Structure 1
Amino acid sequence: MSLPLRAIVVFHAVARCGSLSKAAAELYVTPSAVSQQIQMLEVHLGTTLLTKAGRGIALTEAGERYFEMIGDQVEHISEATQRIRGFRSRSILTVRATPTLASKWLLPRLKGFLDANPDVELRLNGTTEPTDFSRETVDVEIRHGEGRWPGVFVEGLAEESFLPVCSPSYCAAASIGATDVPQHRLIHSVKSQVQWTQWFLLAGAPPAVDWSRILFDRSHMAIDAAVDGFGLALESTLMMWRELRDGTLICPVRNPPRVSLTTQWIVCPFDHLHKAKVRLFLDWLRTERAVWQD
């Protein structure tokens, strides 16, 4: 039995848009035509893919699983088709990075890369999920972790220093000692490789029995909370370089202990190093790293 390719493409659009009408508008067809294609695909698969949810629709468990399995492939086919038809004469570089690094360090610098390489079209994917290079069309990943991933090229992006910081409106620079820190509201990045308990040990400051704290699962939220005067955050100079430069964050602690670590790593399969667009991007990253470290 031949594959109902048109119906698969329509289902992919519906699942991605989360709406029959939005998918219809994107595909330049009527919502009834979209419904017919979905019904055809459900008959072909022998299962229900969509269900009503209030006034809209939602994916069934089978629909979610099917969309997960076909998503990358449909996008890859679409991209390949556009290239062959001449709509994509430029090289597409897909980069995956953690949300904080993508927004705080990478994005402010990317214009320079794009201006220097006008033939490269960049797709930046911000996520904490590690890339499965065997099935995902990602050229380079900047991955958070300890740098131990066998079978792939791994290079540390930069050594970071971790400092307690806050808004200057919350506390003045170098105005408190390490033993005073536990008395303040502490902002925690729960996925950070450097936590307040480690810092207290290095600083010789016993933590308070009762913490006053707020927890975030993304460092960029912790940094923004510190800028907004929530309390003290323990963050990486790599991620908050712009806030430190602009003076919206300062270190309130006198003589804080030095805490240095590499937590962000350039990762890709070894054969990707032969791609011209990957070499261009890695050379640019290394140049930006050197500028940042100066």
Structure 2
Amino acid sequence: MRIPPLKSIIAFECIARTKSVNRAAEELDLTASAVSHQLGNLETMVGQPLFQRTGRGLILTPTGERYLADVTGSLADLSRATERASSRKEVDILRVHSSPSFGLMWLLPRLSFFQETNGDVQLNVACSYEDVSFSNGYYDIDIRHGYGGWSNLEVKTVRGEFIAPLASPQYLERHPLSAPEDLLNHRLIYSETPLVQWRQWFGRHGVAGTNKTFDFSFDRSYMSIETASLGLGIALESTMMASKKIREGALVQIFDRSYSVEVAAHHLVYPGQNAELPRVAKFLSWIEDEIERSRRPA
């Protein structure tokens, strides 16, 4: 049985992720020559090159891609086995990473529902806009915002997410409007994160307002949603992200459903082998039920 040294596999995974021997050396606190030596040893054992050297850096060969998918799962299994062996409690820990707005506006208000039905699972949540690596086995699921297309990972896209103009009832009482073109005379809130922006929304509905200036501009959806709920303007945001504010009556959709744009903006991303973990299966089932429940009228 030929088992390569663990340090060679770790060096390979790090190079594949960073696409650079030098960056992998910095991350592993080794010299570049030491990392190259570990990769060379591994390629000798495999009997084929794992990377192709190009002008833009290192690219995995087809053999390297297959090997990366296999060893990533093995590294994650080793990490989980060590965690179980060192744990003093029989608690199943589910570690989820999420984009900040989804974590704050959608996931956090619903955590109590997950706890009620899954008391045997301890849920740990971290938020950032970085796509996490699954190679060390720490995270089970990553909830990502964007257009999808992540290779070597399972991707379940959240369906039924719509972008629509949102405002507080108090704002609309003070500043009534009846048609999309009326928005050009109102205080609009700009957010960088939605996959549909004001310029696109106006174009979709035949409104010539591409040079409209904005009263507020944010790089986080939760900031624009909160600003709109305070009655300071109109936001173009995800009705799913703002569902709690809508249910509470702090926000309303200004127009009917025909003026909403469906998007595939949020995705549940995880290694294929993680789907076999009971805690992951429970979370995936729960989140699908919650998304369906949030679409129903209050």
Instruction: Tell whether the structures are fold-level matches, with TM greater than 0.5.
Output: yes
How many residues align structurally? 223
Hey, what does 2:186 align to over in structure 1? 184
Rounded to whole Å, the distance in 1 between the matches of 2:115 and 2:210 is: 48
Hey, what does 1:243 align to over in structure 2? 245
Rounded to whole Å, the distance in 2 between the matches of 1:147 and 1:97 is: 14
Question: Mean Cα displacement is larger for which, 97-106 or 85-94?
Answer: 85-94
Relative distance call for 1:120 and 1:201 in structure 2 (3 A) is: same
Rounded to whole Å, the distance in 2 between the matches of 1:106 and 1:140 is: 13
What's the CA shift string for 1:62-108, capped at 9, x where partnerless? xxx98x769xxxxxx99988854553320110001111111111112
Hey, what does 1:276 align to over in structure 2? 278
Q: Is the CA contact 2:79–2:137 (under 8 Å) kept in the aligned structure 1?
A: no
Query: How high is the TM-score relative to the length of structure 2?
Result: 0.68
Hey, what does 2:232 align to over in structure 1? 230
Rounded to whole Å, the distance in 1 between the matches of 2:261 and 2:176 is: 17
Rounded to whole Å, the distance in 2 between the matches of 1:247 and 1:224 is: 13
Hey, what does 2:146 align to over in structure 1? 145
Shift of 1:251: 2.8
After TM superposition, the structure 1 = structure 2 runs for residues 64-103 of structure 1, keeping only pairs within 5 Å, are 84=85, 86-103=87-104
Query: How high is the TM-score relative to the length of structure 1?
Result: 0.68
Question: Mean Cα displacement is larger for which, 171-180 or 277-286?
Answer: 171-180
Equivalent AA in structure 1 for residue 283 of structure 2: F
After TM superposition, the structure 1 = structure 2 runs for residues 40-51 of structure 1, keeping only pairs within 5 Å, are none
Rounded to whole Å, the distance in 1 between the matches of 2:120 and 2:256 is: 49
Hey, what does 2:133 align to over in structure 1? 132
What's the CA shift string for 1:176-209, capped at 9, x where partnerless? 3211112222111112211000010012111164
Q: Is the CA contact 1:98–1:128 (under 8 Å) kept in the aligned structure 2?
A: yes
Hey, what does 1:48 align to over in structure 2? none
Q: Is the CA contact 1:175–1:254 (under 8 Å) kept in the aligned structure 2?
A: no
Rounded to whole Å, the distance in 2 between the matches of 1:220 and 1:271 is: 33
Relative distance call for 1:224 and 1:115 in structure 2 (3 A) is: same
User: Identity, % of aligned pairs?
Assistant: 34
Hey, what does 1:203 align to over in structure 2? 205
Relative distance call for 1:162 and 1:174 in structure 2 (3 A) is: farther
Q: Once superposed, what is the RMSD of the aligned Cα atoms?
A: 2.7
Hey, what does 1:110 align to over in structure 2? 111
Q: Is the CA contact 1:93–1:121 (under 8 Å) kept in the aligned structure 2?
A: yes
Rounded to whole Å, the distance in 1 between the matches of 2:118 and 2:257 is: 43
Rounded to whole Å, the distance in 2 between the matches of 1:192 and 1:272 is: 29
Shift of 1:139: 0.1
What's the CA shift string for 1:14-47, capped at 9, x where partnerless? xxxxxxxxxxxxxxxxxxxxxxxxxxxxxxxxxx
Equivalent AA in structure 2 for residue 242 of structure 1: K
> Secondary structure in 2 aligned to 1:169?
helix
Match of 2:266 among 264, 267, 276: 264
